[in-house]
Chains A and B, each alone.
Chain A
C-alpha cells in the first residue's frame, strides 16, 4: 500500500506573507481565479491559518487529517468521515453546525461558514495534485510529502549536520 501524502509545516521557513491563505480561498471559490474570487458571494474561505507567536514566530496551521481524528469521533451527526485517501471530510449535508468538532480539534483549524451554517476545513484540494497552499508558498514552508520521505529528508539533513560537527 502506497504511503499517503501529508501537508508538513516547516515553521522556520514561514515569513508570514499569507499567500497560502489567498491560494486556499481561491481554490475553494467558484471561479478558481483570484480576480473572480474576490467578488463572489458567499466569500470564498481559506482553510489554512497563519498564527503569530511573540516575538517573531509565524506558524502556518492546517487540518492534520489525524489518523485518530477527534473530530470524527465527536461528530454527533455522523457528518465526518475518512475517504479512501485518508482525508478527513465533512459532509455538509449532514453537518448540523453544533461545533463539537471545533471543541475537540487540537489544532483549531475548523472554521464556521456563516452563510452556509456549516463547519469547513481543509479538504486537501481534491482537484489538484498538490494542495493550493503548498503550491503558493514562496519559501517552501509548506511541504506535501509522505511521512517516510519527509522523515528521510530530515534524517539526511541531521546526519550531515552531525558528521560536520564531529569532523569539524
Chain B
C-alpha cells in the first residue's frame, strides 16, 4: 500500500499511516490537522515572552531589540516574564503528578480503613519497606495497621509546612546537602506549588534566578515526592511490576471481542476495570451478544500501569488516541485524567464508541460521565464495563478497520525487578558500567508532539544509544514507542553494541527497559540513587543522561526540572518557551551546571541528541576514572 508523503511524514508507525488514510477518507479531523491549522504558532508564545498574570496586560515583549515594547506594563523584562511562565509550567506539571500521588494515598487510606471498594494490599514487602523509611513500627502489626500509618504519613507530605519530604532522602547525601545549601529542599509538596503561584503573581518575585530556583524546588517535590508516592503506593496496592510479556500497537484490538480502552494515568480506575472485565457474568453477556470475550487494552500511562502489572496489551501512545477510535472497533474509551484530548468526544460521535469520563476532576464535551469513587470501585467499574459490553451490539461492521500491526514486548522492569534480574544485587550492573560493557544509563521519557514525526524522535534516539552500549530505561510515551518498535524484546540486544549485547544476553533482558508510566520516572531516580550510593558518589558524577525527544506537556517541564535538579544532564527534542530570555536560556543550558551539576540541551535531531548524551557519559566516565 502506497501512502501519500503527507501521511508518511507524520509518523514512523505503519498503523498510524493506515489510520490516517482512513481518517482522510472518512473526512475525520485528527491532531495533525489541527496542528497544521494552527501554523504558524504564535512567536511570542514560542519565546515565552507573553504575560497574562495581571489585567494591566496582556503584555508581550518584542524579541527584536529596537522595535516594540521591551518591558511589560509593570516593568517586567523578558527575563522576568520567561522565568515566571516557565515555573508556572512546572507548577502545573508538579500539581498533576502529585495529585495523582495524592489519589493513591487516598486509596491506600481507604483500603487500610476497610473502606476501599475492592482494593487490597498486594505487596506487603514493599509496604514494610516504605514503613521503614517513615520509621513506622511493623513488628507484630497487621498490614492494614501499617498501611493506615503509612497512608496518613504520606498524605501528610502534601500539606506539610516544614521539614522535608521523606522520599527525597533516597537521594545521595551529597545531593540532599546541595539542595539544602541552595534552599531548594522542598518543605512539602503542595506548599512549593502554591509558592510558585504566589511568587509569579504581579509584583512579587522579579529575579529570574530566584524564580527558577523555586521552580526546581517544586519539581523536586514532584519527582522525589508526589511521583515517588504515586509509584510506591501503586506498587503496594497493585503489586510491584515484574517482567511480563505482552503486545503493543493498534493491532491488539480484536475484531471479534468487546474492546475496552482505558486511557489516562491513574491505575486506581484501570485496575478495577481489568478486574471487572474478568467478571464471568460480564464475559457471559459479551458472549451472548456475539463477542468472543472482553479485550481490555491501554493507552498512554494508564496503559503503562496495567501492561507492567498484568501484561494487558497497549494500544499506543498519546498521538494514537484518536486513531484508536477511528478503528471503529472500540466499544468504550474510558478515561480518568491527563493527556486526554477533548477531541475524543466529537470523534466518538462518528462511531458507536462510548467515551466515558470517570474523574470528577476531568469532564469532556461529548462524554458520558460515570463517576468513579474508590469506596464503590468494583461496582462502578462493573457498571462501566457492562455499558461497554452492551455497546458491542451497536458496532457497525462496515466501519471497522483494525490495523494488523502489533509487536511483542517484555515489560515490567521496576527497580526491584532489575535488581532481581541482576541476581539480587546491583553489583553485576556496577561491574558492567565499570568495565565499559555498559557505557552509561539513559532515561528516555516524555510525550508525543506533532511538531516531531511521531515516534521518530523516540526510536531513533534510543537505537543510537543502545548501539553505543548505553542501557536505556524508559517510561511514558517513549516506552510505548520502543515497545511498538520491537526494542523491548531480549532479541533487540542484536541492535545493541557488543558490550550491552553481552549483558542483555547473559541476563535475558531487552536493552531497553520499560520502567512504567510518567510518574514512574521516580523508579529511574531511585535506581540512579542506588547506583550513586553504591559507588559513594553523587548522581551528577554518574555516566547517566536523560532525554525527552518528543515532549509537550507541563508534566514534562516538571520532569526535566527535577531530573536536572537531581544532577542528570537532559536533552530536549522540542524547544521550551524560554528563548525570549537570554538570562534564563543561559542559566538552563550552562549556568545550572555550576549550581546543580547538570544542564539542559535542546537538540531536535535525535541522532545528535544521542551524541550529546554519549559525550556527556564519556566525560563522566573519565572523571570517575573508569
Contacts and interface: CB of A to CB of B under 8 A. Distances in A.
B164 interface: no
Interface string B36-52: 00001011101100000
Interface string B104-138: 00000000000000000000000000000000000
Nearest to A44: B64
A46 B67 CA distance: 8
A34 B43 contact: yes
A135 interface: yes
A22 interface: yes
Interface residues of A, number: 20
A38 B580 contact: yes
A25 B68 CA distance: 12
Contacts of B579: 35, 38
B575 A43 contact: no
A114 B64 contact: no
B65 interface: yes
Contact of A38 (B42, B47, B60, B66): B47
Nearest to A49: B67
A19 interface: yes
Interface in B227-273: none
B43 to A, nearest CB: 4
Given A34-B43, A135-B40, A21 B68 contact: yes
Given A38-B63, A43-B64, A22 B575 contact: no
Given A35-B575, A35-B579, A38-B579, A18 B63 contact: no
A109 interface: no
B67 A21 contact: yes
A26 interface: yes
Contacts of B64: 25, 37-38, 43-46
Contacts of B580: 38
Interface in A5-29: 17-19, 21-23, 25-26
A22 B43 contact: yes
A114 B66 contact: yes
Q: Which of B44, B47, B64, B580: most chain A Cβ within 10 A? A: B64
Nearest to B69: A18
A78 interface: no
Interface in A120-167: 135-136, 138
Contacts of A21: 62, 67-68
Interface of B: 40, 42-44, 46-47, 60, 62-68, 575, 579-580
- What are the 3 closest A-B residue pairs judged by CB atoms, nearest first? A22-B43, A38-B63, A43-B65
Interface of A: 17-19, 21-23, 25-26, 34-35, 37-38, 43-46, 114, 135-136, 138
